[in-house]
Chain A
Amino acid sequence: MATTAVTSAGIASEAPRSDFGRILAQRERRFAAALLAPAFLALLATTTFPLLFLVYTSAFRMDLAMPFTNGFVGFENYQVLLSDDRFWTSLLVSLVYTGSTVALQVIIGLALALLVMDMKRGQGWFRVIAILPVVLSPAVVGMIWRTFMLAPEFGIVDFLAINAGLGSKNWLGDPTLAMVSVIAIHTWQWTPFAFMVLLASLASLPEDIYEAARLDRASAWQRFRRITLPLLRPAIVMVIIMRTMVALTAFAAIFTVTAGGPGTATEILNLYAYRKSFTELSIGYGSALAVALLIVTIIISGILFAMRRAK
């Protein structure tokens, strides 16, 4: 094997195969192992071990309310799951919730980033205000919306609806409106994220391409379609991937606002797994639901990463 002593890496490079070099490389390996050990042991204990244990418990009937029926059931939980209407409904709710919130975040965020990019003054306001929603706890955000914004005949949104002639609505009590509300809340909190990321990448685009396009008399739409959008594509795809992962496992905001209700109208798969395990105390089946959620997450991220690689 050829020695590739990268000079800038100096001692840290793959050392020449002399005894001295070998000793150095070995020392480096040991040093790296010592530095990595605590973090990796902690990650094994808090992520890999729970995953294995989760798969294991999903093969059991484990009812905390009725412990006498507990026992190994093999794949039974998964068979039940496949014919469980509530599972399929929650999966659909998850997909609608994720699809619409991500689409709204990207579209509004991009439009706003383009708009703010052209502003000569006042960009600073956007940069500061946009930070506020994204640093807040989704639980607190949910609580504020549930009460001061959406409560019938009290919340500001209801007040605006009444004044707009729409009349007071039961924003969180009506199944359709509740779904619209939780989607709106998530969009409210996370659009600033898409906005900030896209604004940052817009700001880093080379200026001279636009000059050339202007000299060629390209219209604003052409410039957007032919230059901005292709250059921005990696950032847009990245935002889509990140936001999709978060939306699929959204919990706190929905939990505080509707707790999945009314009925199961806003119960995304994540919330169903939680309710099954910790409200209905059916841990074995809840584990199977969580495994299903993991599989859905892997499939969707696989599709998105393929999209990212495709040109």
Chain B
Amino acid sequence: MATIDCFDKTVRDVNTKLRDFVSGGKNDIHIINPESLHNLAVAITKAANITIDGSVGYYCAGMIDGPTIRINGSAGWGLAESMLSGTVRVNGSAGNGAAAAIRDGTVIIEADAAARLGVSMKGGLVLVGGNCGYMAGFMGQKGTLIVCGDVGAGFADSMYETVCFVGGEIAELGTDAIIEKPTEDEYSYLSRTLTLHLPTKMEAPGFAIDRFKKVISGRKLWNFDNQDWETWREAM
């Protein structure tokens, strides 16, 4: 395993070394003492297993395509933003805009996510073990967003085709968001996904897969309708 010690290094130093390792074919890379540096491991475009021991700042794993990145700590804003593929797992919590605008890949936040989780997501899977803040899923275009706990106000506002599942309470639905009961296939998908990525959730006392609600777009904001004043007065 290759190791990079961030102590006393700039993010430039760390990212340069990381890219050297990845392009040199090293598959297992361990980053220690990240000290909440911003912009760690951005734009990594090859497969590699990268473990970061400690909390990270803004935009960690932003714009990646392919690597598997595990953060043993918490993450600042914009975790994995705009990723194309790969997996990012945080065993703590994540700040605002986690998984913003991702096009594919998987983002797993074991604890809580702050506001605007998965905003403008265009594909992929976002999975939160705990709760999330307001405006999660805002303008979500495609992909799947799963929150095992409670979600804040304005949930799933103005979405296109993102499909959301919530295991806890929804403080308030966003404009044009509607609740549906998941199908049996969707319950099976949720069980498989949680078993794969967050198995301890499935084993937790009182956990029940049938508590999950499905939230999707009501599609009333897709095209303007001057007869639908109730919906559009919130959106125009």
A binds B: no
